[in-house]
Structure 1
């Protein structure tokens, strides 16, 4: 009865099933591993943030370039404040406001972008406290350069003079006549009259929308693997029932073709 499985039609069906099921399981497992990696990254970032609060700040040069392991760590840098810019459209505690960004000229000639704090409302240079003069040593959380258009960072152009949409070396190097570090620092304690900006998690970490998309894709691939198995058994059962009906003579014969004898 099962000799029909050796027909060319069923050979094609069987090969498809044998290839589709492992492929679906592999893709589902890969998506699940991506979700687990993001969960692990979230835990690592949380542990790193807690340990960073207890660790002593280290010199900036020791933690560059910024990566997932160094993002959020406390650093120190010494220099003199120079050009000041405002970063609009930044929320803090669900309130609209802006960052106060001041470039710190270090001994090496490069400038380190330093977020001195956050103020509510629309950017207004008249409301911003003046930066300290003379040589200063700042302490804050190290952050990677932002990418316009991602993680809530504005990608709009044409901002007024004295403003920048993203805190990144690529954006700032066009506004100042000196090199800028490919990183920035948010002060642990904001300057007078401003609110400290908390450190952000590194990009592609945490339980964000992408993480739950990976979890959803995991379920889809495993469901599709089950659907392939279900359809194979359904086709098999239908073929067996058809053969049994044929053996019992329950399969209707083809209707005879009517011939008009009188016309011949």
Structure 2
């Protein structure tokens, strides 16, 4: 009854199932692995954050470039405050406001972006306390430069004195000196006046963010695809077997073989012969 499985049509179906099911299982396992890796990195980041609070501050040069291991570490730098910019449309909790970012010209000449704090409302320079004068030593949580995919980043046209993204690439055309490809945010107790401290964000690719749960959703989708392929194979197999059984019992008419056209036996009419004799 199942001899139809050896037909060319079913060879193609079987090959698709044999290749498709392992591929779906592999992709589902890969997405699940990515989700588990994000969970582990989130837990590790929380443990590291607690450890970093107890760690002594390290010189900025010792923590660069910023990695997942150094992100959030307390970095210290010495210099003079220079250019100040406002970073609008930033949320702290459930309130919208703006960051106050001031560039610290270090002893080597490069500038370190320092987020001195957050204020509610629209970005207004008149509400911002002036930075300290003279040579200062700042200590804050080290952060990697933001990119286009950072949540809450405003990248549209902004007025003078405002910045959409905290990165060396966005600052290169605003200041006439080199900028570190990193920034720090001052912790509680080191801000001025009404400025509220900005907590350090988790590094990119870590934490239980939307992308992590997307990986979990893709995991379920790939496993569902694998089950659907197996289900459709059994369904096609059952339909074919029932059709073969009905055909064997005579419940279905056999499909007649297509007849080849027979050559025509019709002869061409003979040409008419003249009945008139010679000389007619």
Task: Tell me the residue number matched to 2:220.
Answer: 219
1:68-96, Cα deviation, whole Å (9 max, x unpaired): 11111111111111111111111112112
TM-superposed deviation, 1:8 = 0.9
1:148–1:223 CA distance, 2 compared to 1 (3 A): closer
Task: Tell me the residue number matched to 2:204.
Answer: 203
Q: Is 1:243 the equivalent of 2:239?
A: no
TM-superposed deviation, 1:44 = 1.8
Task: Tell me the residue number matched to 1:84.
Answer: 84
Contact 1:66 1:144 in 2 (8 A): yes
How many matched pairs?
Answer: 254
TM-score, normalised with respect to structure 2: 0.87
TM-superposed deviation, 1:193 = 2.4
Task: Tell me the residue number matched to 1:177.
Answer: 176
Task: Tell me the residue number matched to 2:166.
Answer: 167
Dislocated runs of 4+, deviation >4 Å: none
1:52–1:22 CA distance, 2 compared to 1 (3 A): same
Matches of residues 15-164 of structure 1 in structure 2 within 5 Å?
A: 15-148=15-148, 150-157=150-157, 159-164=158-163
1:92-118, Cα deviation, whole Å (9 max, x unpaired): 121121111111111111010101111
Contact 2:87 2:164 in 1 (8 A): yes
TM-superposed deviation, 1:254 = 6.1
Name which one, 1 or 2, has greater alpha-carbon Rg: 2
TM-superposed deviation, 1:252 = 3.5
1:179-227, Cα deviation, whole Å (9 max, x unpaired): 1100000001322321011101111221222111111111111111111
Whole-angstrom distance in 1 between the partners of 2:63 and 2:71: 9
Range moving further from structure 2, 240-249 or 229-238? 240-249
1:29–1:195 CA distance, 2 compared to 1 (3 A): same
TM-superposed deviation, 1:150 = 2.8
Whole-angstrom distance in 2 between the partners of 1:122 and 1:242: 73
Question: Matched residue of 2:198: which SS?
Answer: coil
Question: Matched residue of 1:203: which SS?
Answer: coil
Task: Tell me the residue number matched to 1:260.
Answer: none
Contact 1:85 1:101 in 2 (8 A): yes
- Provide structure 2 residue ranges, at least 5 long, that are not aligned to the other structure: 257-280
Whole-angstrom distance in 1 between the partners of 2:61 and 2:29: 40
TM-superposed deviation, 1:178 = 0.8
Whole-angstrom distance in 1 between the partners of 2:170 and 2:211: 27
- Provide structure 1 residue ranges, at least 5 long, that are not aligned to the other structure: 256-264
CA RMSD of aligned residues (A): 1.5
TM-score, normalised with respect to structure 1: 0.92
Question: Matched residue of 1:85: which SS?
Answer: strand
